[in-house]
Structure 1
Amino acid sequence: MAIGAVLEPLVVVSLLAFGTIVNRNKSNSSWSPFSAKRPEPWRHIKYSSDSDEEDVEASRRREDEITLLPPTLSRSSSSSDTTLAEDGFDKTTPPWRPRKLRFMGWEKEVTTPNTEVFRTRFLSRVLQRFPFLVEVWYWALIYWVYQLGRAFTAVTLQESTVHTAREHALQVIHVEQRLGIFIEPAVQRWFLQSPTLMRWTNRVYSFIHIPGTILFLIVLYHFTTARPRRTLQKEQGDRAQLGDNWRELAPQFGPAVYERRRRTMAMCNLLAFIVFTFWPCMPPRLLSDPTYTGEYAKEAKSFGFVDTVHGADGDSSVWTTNRFCNQYAAMPSLHFGYSFLIGLTIATVPLRKRGRFGWRRLAIVGIGMIYPAVILAAIVATANHFVLDAVAGACACLLAWHFNGFLLNLLPLEDYFLALVRIHKP
């Protein structure tokens, strides 16, 4: 456990550092963090043959007209030259930009700071060279906000909440019995027959979830963002410096896909936090608590669930054994929710030869479902989740998949924060 307290965080930090280096901006014209000279983004860019120069120029003029100034402000200069103040502030870039808030058909346009005026500052140039650092920040924000929420519920836990969580767990069992899917005791007994298999299942549950999710984000970012950016830079020439709107030229499986999956994870966390805060549920392993002698003791202990992960011979993780971990947040299972998201992403990767039911699509769907199947077996065999916990995790994933755009309403808040710290996000 003492080694794990150091090794597990080290693995996470190493993965994030690896992702930052692998997904760095390799362009010869990308900014050096120690050079304040701002390149001219469009001077050397060539466009595909289906767009003539007049269309490109007209598109740029339209973009300039709609992006940056609120109605009450006018351009301070029409010159394409860049004027920098001593503190790296770009005087010619308009200081404001419009953002749209949307919710169920309602829409409102608001004006927020345009952080591009800080594009040439040191930290902005660092992010330009290592754009995955932005994703490291997002992951840390998503993970730690969620964990702090769980920690708050853990430290403020009352005994009545434990009783409620136990009752809810028994209710889940009763529903599964009616549906004919109460298979958890049988599954665990089968795994317990093979100590080696059980030991590796414990390790899958404890040590794969967080590193596996981070590795997924690194790989997805590479194929949807870093590699298309490098390909486009090569097509435009080594001297080309792509502007922030290069994403418009990216392929279908591009940066927008990655950003939607990242928002989906954040939305999963939000939905899970709401559920376990208002409907706490005890994991199966805690139903066998020998110290419990209350009203439901006989029924709770009758199922014979064994805590294989947190026992003396278990392989527990530092992320799930600290005092700030809420043990009564089994519903929904984010272990399965995240794995299902990863599986769906793999299953929906665009293929060169299109067709929904071709053998290639069936093969890639099968490959995508391997990981969630392994995680489902692990969470059930270790008695950390019920089958319905996994179903709830999948439902949370699907809801977040379809409604992740709601989080775009937080962009104005991000703009003000970045303006406060004087950083431009690439």
Structure 2
Amino acid sequence: MHQCRPDTTQVYQLGRAFTTLFLDDTTVNVARRHALQLIHLEQRLHLFVELPVQAWFLERPNLMHWTNRTYSFIHIPGTILFLIVMYYISTTRPRKNLQKTSTKGASPTRLHRTVGRLNPDMYERRRRTMAMCNLLAFIIFTAWPCMPPRLLGDPTYEGPDAPEALSYGFVDTVHSKDGESSVWTTNRFCNQYAAMPSLHFGYSFLIGLTVATLPIETPRRLSWKRISLVVGGMIYPAIILSAIVATANHFVLDAVAGAIVCITAWHANGFLLNLLAMEDWFLWVVRIHKPSKALVDSKGVPLRL
């Protein structure tokens, strides 16, 4: 049986760790300059809302506390939980239902209805999309490092951009004394200059769309169940967007880039299927059996989801 692999975020984290090993002062200065360029672009587009948004949250300490926790503890665990749930509802549960129906000698039409629109392809496409997001993000932040707003106020920097960088007054709420940092935000391999694009928002965008469009059985097109899924699918990315901006970890355009990367990865995720031959070759070399995705009934006849 095809197994759940909630490790797509690890590819991204390894990429960030790799680039961290080669950071120097030149990279930091370039990342700072790119961040200031983003601010200038947002000002021209009338999108530079990061300062008033953070100020609004800072005036509400309790809300700021939970926003810090949201940023530090929701992204990776939430993504892993999403993949686990998606695997269960799209693969494990339909397989169980299919096996039960097949043992009763059901017709092919009934077997198809048993499976419905929830099938392994739903999970696999989203997992591949996340992996593709990681690849695209790695290319972008390696070629175009960008400093998050919270690091612009570094008092030790005395370069030509220092006056402007210090003038904005962004506050690092997550890593401050009263912040809520986590192992994912403070480890020594964390690349602090990979703000563009924001996969915090890119992942939440994909998760939100998946929840909002999840196939459900309902006699009506518009039901309370569908409305609940749509609302839930909109709330999650909205919360993540608020968190990444309020904590000064990303610019608004970082989130926009994250959404664009997600959409691009969704349409290009099939590219990763070309690597299956390499996977088969590697497993053959190390003499590891690759589990079959085929499901058989009690008579050994293959069943397809």
Q: Which TM-score band applies after superposition, normalised by the shorter structure?
A: 0.7 to 0.9
How far does residue 363 in structure 1 lie from its aligned partner after superposition?
4.7
Q: Where does residue 289 of structure 2 map in the other structure? A: 423
Are 1:260 and 2:125 an aligned pair? yes
Q: CA RMSD in A?
A: 2.3
Amino acid at match of 2:187: N
Are 1:279 and 2:144 an aligned pair? yes
Structure-2 separation of matches of 1:369 and 1:149: 29
Do the aligned residues in 2 keep the contact of 1:379 with 1:385 (CA within 8 Å)?
yes
Structure-2 separation of matches of 1:247 and 1:351: 15
Are 1:410 and 2:275 an aligned pair? yes
Q: Where does residue 27 of structure 2 map in the other structure? A: 161
Report the CA distance shift for 1:359/1:153 in structure 2 as closer, same or farther (over 3 A): same
TM-score between both structures, scaled by the size of structure 2: 0.88
How far does residue 226 in structure 1 lie from its aligned partner after superposition?
0.7
Structure-2 separation of matches of 1:362 and 1:239: 37
Q: Where does residue 13 of structure 2 map in the other structure? A: 147
Are 1:232 and 2:121 an aligned pair? no
Report the CA distance shift for 1:247/1:398 in structure 2 as closer, same or farther (over 3 A): farther
Amino acid at match of 2:13: Q
Structure-1 separation of matches of 2:104 and 2:131: 36
Do the aligned residues in 2 keep the contact of 1:150 with 1:326 (CA within 8 Å)?
yes
Do the aligned residues in 1 keep the contact of 2:101 with 2:114 (CA within 8 Å)?
no
Do the aligned residues in 2 keep the contact of 1:247 with 1:254 (CA within 8 Å)?
no
1:320 match: secondary structure: helix
Report the CA distance shift for 1:248/1:151 in structure 2 as closer, same or farther (over 3 A): farther
Equivalent of residue 47 in structure 2, options 165, 168, 181: 181
Q: Where does residue 392 of structure 1 map in the other structure? A: 257
1:288 match: secondary structure: coil
How far does residue 302 in structure 1 lie from its aligned partner after superposition?
1.1
How far does residue 153 in structure 1 lie from its aligned partner after superposition?
0.9
How far does residue 422 in structure 1 lie from its aligned partner after superposition?
2.6
Q: Which runs of 5+ in 1 are unaligned?
A: 1-127, 241-245
TM-score between both structures, scaled by the size of structure 1: 0.64
Q: Where does residue 299 of structure 2 map in the other structure? A: none
Of all paired residues, the percent bearing the same amino acid is: 65
1:9-408 correspondence to structure 2 within 5 Å: 128=1, 134-135=3-4, 138-140=5-7, 142-237=8-103, 250-353=115-218, 358=222, 361=226, 363-408=228-273
Structure-1 separation of matches of 2:282 and 2:104: 34
How far does residue 247 in structure 1 lie from its aligned partner after superposition?
9.8
Amino acid at match of 1:148: L
* 1:147-185 deviation per Cα after TM superposition (whole angstroms, max 9, x unaligned): 222112111112111111011101111111111111000
1:206 match: secondary structure: helix
Amino acid at match of 2:200: H
Q: Which runs of 5+ in 2 are unaligned?
A: 293-305
Report the CA distance shift for 1:236/1:385 in structure 2 as closer, same or farther (over 3 A): same
Structure-2 separation of matches of 1:354 and 1:398: 31
Do the aligned residues in 2 keep the contact of 1:207 with 1:317 (CA within 8 Å)?
yes
Amino acid at match of 1:332: P
How far does residue 365 in structure 1 lie from its aligned partner after superposition?
2.2
How far does residue 323 in structure 1 lie from its aligned partner after superposition?
1.6
Q: Where does residue 303 of structure 2 map in the other structure? A: none
> How many residues are treated as equivalent by the alignment?
286
2:284 match: secondary structure: helix
2:80 match: secondary structure: helix
Structure-2 separation of matches of 1:261 and 1:215: 13
Report the CA distance shift for 1:274/1:248 in structure 2 as closer, same or farther (over 3 A): farther
How far does residue 253 in structure 1 lie from its aligned partner after superposition?
2.0
How far does residue 222 in structure 1 lie from its aligned partner after superposition?
1.0
Report the CA distance shift for 1:419/1:168 in structure 2 as closer, same or farther (over 3 A): same
How far does residue 317 in structure 1 lie from its aligned partner after superposition?
1.0
Amino acid at match of 2:87: Y
Structure-1 separation of matches of 2:169 and 2:66: 21
Do the aligned residues in 2 keep the contact of 1:202 with 1:315 (CA within 8 Å)?
yes
Amino acid at match of 2:14: L
Structure-1 separation of matches of 2:171 and 2:39: 16
How far does residue 351 in structure 1 lie from its aligned partner after superposition?
3.7
Choose between structure 1 and 2 for higher RCO, CA contacts under 8 A separated by at least 6 residues.
2
How far does residue 410 in structure 1 lie from its aligned partner after superposition?
0.6
* 1:233-264 deviation per Cα after TM superposition (whole angstroms, max 9, x unaligned): 11112899xxxxx9998322211100000000
1:331 match: secondary structure: coil
The structure number with the bigger radius of gyration is 1
Structure-2 separation of matches of 1:149 and 1:367: 31
* 1:315-357 deviation per Cα after TM superposition (whole angstroms, max 9, x unaligned): 111112122111000000010011111001011112435888x
